[in-house]
Amino acid sequence: MAYAIARILGCLPPDVIHPPISTPQLHRNKSEECGIYSHQNSLLQKDPAMSIFSTAAIDSACETISQRVVSTSSELDGLIKSGDPASHGVQRLLALSAKLGSFRQAVEILRESILAATVVSPVVQSGLGASVHPCSDASAIIEKEIIRLQPGFTVDTIETDAVLEYEDHQGANAHLFALFAQILQM
């Protein structure tokens, strides 16, 4: 997603090719895929529903993201308390929790910036439209994946590579939203 936004904002040369992203799973032996990157290919396509920019819609999506992050962090706290603090799995979950906290802060700053902005350029409108709603969808997927870990979950069986991908995803979104907030505050 950050790639698509960077391309929209003109930060990438047109010949840069985006590498394929695998779909992570949080728990070993799990048969369902989570589809966190399901919007990856659709980000560069023009969606007629997104052609009209609405600060209220962006604000609502940001509020939804923030609420999901709070819910996900709460679930993570319960999982973290159930494991050995020195284990690698708990350390990964702690890092994910920290990234979620940073992402939530960036979302709240973006909300404030959007509401305070007197004018939003068409390029920024396009970037916000292409990023905020897919981030909202992705935050729902991450929340569901964390909730699904509850029954019979042990920290020893967590797929740490998937958690690392989620960390990277949340970190990239936090940076992207912070960039949008800085642009809107200009």
Which pLDDT tens digits describe the chain residue by residue (186 residues)? 444 443 444 444 444 444 333 445 555 444 333 333 333 334 434 444 445 788 899 999 999 999 999 999 998 898 888 888 888 888 988 999 999 999 999 999 999 999 999 989 999 999 998 999 999 998 888 888 888 876 666 777 778 888 888 899 899 999 999 999 999 998
Of 76, 74, 182, 65, the C-alpha closest to 135 is: 65
- Is the CATH number of domain 2-7+54-184 1.20.140? yes
Selection from 163, 8, 185, 1 nearest residue 80 by Cα: 163
Domain ranges of the chain: 2-7+54-184
Q: Considering the entire predicted model, what is its pTM?
A: 0.71
